Structure 1
Amino acid sequence: MGARLALLLLALAGAGCASTTGVGYYWQSVTGHLRLMQAARPVEQWLSDAQTPTVLKERLALAQRIRAFAVSELALPDNASYHRYADLQRRAAVYNVVAAPALSLTLQTWCFPVAGCVGYRGYFSEEDAQAFGRSLDPSLEVNVYPVPAYSTLGWMNWAGGDPLLNTFIGYPEGELARLVFHELAHQVVYVRNDTVFNESFATAVERLGGTRWLQTQAGAQAQADYARFDERRRAFRALTGTVRLRLQTLYRDATLDDATKLQRKAVVMADFRRDYAGLRSQWDGFASYDSFVARANNASFAAQAAYDELVPGFIALFEREGRDFARFYDAVRALAKQPKEERQRTLHGLAGTAVAGGTAERR
Structure 2
Amino acid sequence: MPQPFAPRSFRTRPWAALSALTASLALAGCASQGNALGYYWQSVRGHVQLMRSAEPLEDWIARTDIPLPLRERLQLAQRARAFAVAELGLPDNPSYRRYADLKRPAAVWNVVAAPPYSLTLHTWCFPVTGCIGYRGYFDEADAKAEAGRLAQEGLEVEVYGVPAYSTLGYMNWAGGDPLLSTFIGWPEGEFVRLLFHELAHQVVYAKGDTLFNESFATAVERLGSARWLAQQATPQASTAFVASEARRREFRALTQATRERLARIYAQSDAPDRQAQKAAAMQFFRADYAALRERWQATPAQTAGYDRWVASANNASFAAQAAYNEFVPAFEAIFEREGRDWHRFYDAVRVLSEQPQAQRHEALRQLLPNQETPGA
Quick check: TM above 0.5? yes
Query: Contact 2:143–2:159 (CA<8 Å) still a contact in 1?
Result: yes
Distance in 2, matches of 1:67 and 1:48, equals 18
Matched, 1:244 2:259: yes
The letter for the 2-side match of 1:9 is: L
The letter for the 1-side match of 2:225 is: G
Summarize deviations over 1:70-114 as a string: whole Å, max 9, x none. 000000000000000001001111110000000000000001112
Distance in 1, matches of 2:20 and 2:128, equals 9
Give the Å deviation of 1:261.
Answer: 1.2
Match of 2:139 in 1: 125
Count of residues in correspondence between the two structures: 343
1:89-168 counterparts in 2 under 5 A? 89-136=103-150, 137-168=152-183
Matched, 1:176 2:191: yes
Q: Are the structure 2 counterparts of residues 126 and 8 from structure 1 closer, same or farther at C-alpha, using a change threshold of 3 Å?
A: closer
Match of 2:281 in 1: 268
For 2:284, what is the secondary structure of its paired residue? Answer: helix
Query: Contact 1:182–1:205 (CA<8 Å) still a contact in 2?
Result: yes
Distance in 2, matches of 1:196 and 1:128, equals 26
Once the two structures are aligned, what percentage of the paired residues are identical? 60
Give the Å deviation of 1:228.
Answer: 1.0
Match of 2:340 in 1: 323
Of 15, 18, 32, 1:9 maps to 18
Distance in 1, matches of 2:339 and 2:181, equals 36
For 1:350, what is the secondary structure of its paired residue? Answer: coil
Distance in 2, matches of 1:252 and 1:10, equals 37
For 2:242, what is the secondary structure of its paired residue? Answer: helix
Match of 1:314 in 2: 331
Match of 1:49 in 2: 63
Distance in 1, matches of 2:266 and 2:234, equals 46
Match of 1:305 in 2: 322
Of 313, 337, 343, 1:296 maps to 313
Distance in 1, matches of 2:229 and 2:371, equals 24
Match of 2:358 in 1: 341
Distance in 1, matches of 2:289 and 2:253, equals 11
Distance in 1, matches of 2:331 and 2:173, equals 30
Match of 1:193 in 2: 208
Distance in 1, matches of 2:188 and 2:111, equals 28
Summarize deviations over 1:219-248 as a string: whole Å, max 9, x none. 110110101111111111111111011111
Give the Å deviation of 1:204.
Answer: 0.5
Specify every segment of 5 or more residues in structure 1 that has no aligned partner in the other structure, as ranges.
Answer: 1-5, 13-17, 356-363
Specify every segment of 5 or more residues in structure 2 that has no aligned partner in the other structure, as ranges.
Answer: 1-14, 22-26
Q: Are the structure 2 counterparts of residues 354 and 250 from structure 1 closer, same or farther at C-alpha, using a change threshold of 3 Å?
A: closer
The letter for the 1-side match of 2:283 is: A
- When the two chains are superposed, the root-mean-square deviation of aligned CA atoms in Å is 1.8
The letter for the 2-side match of 1:204 is: A
Query: Contact 2:112–2:157 (CA<8 Å) still a contact in 1?
Result: yes
Give the Å deviation of 1:354.
Answer: 8.5
Match of 1:228 in 2: 243
Distance in 2, matches of 1:11 and 1:36, equals 19
Which aligned segments of 4 or more residues in structure 1 are displaced greater than 6 angstroms? none
For 2:93, what is the secondary structure of its paired residue? Answer: coil
Query: Contact 1:313–1:350 (CA<8 Å) still a contact in 2?
Result: yes
The letter for the 2-side match of 1:104 is: S
Distance in 1, matches of 2:36 and 2:17, equals 16
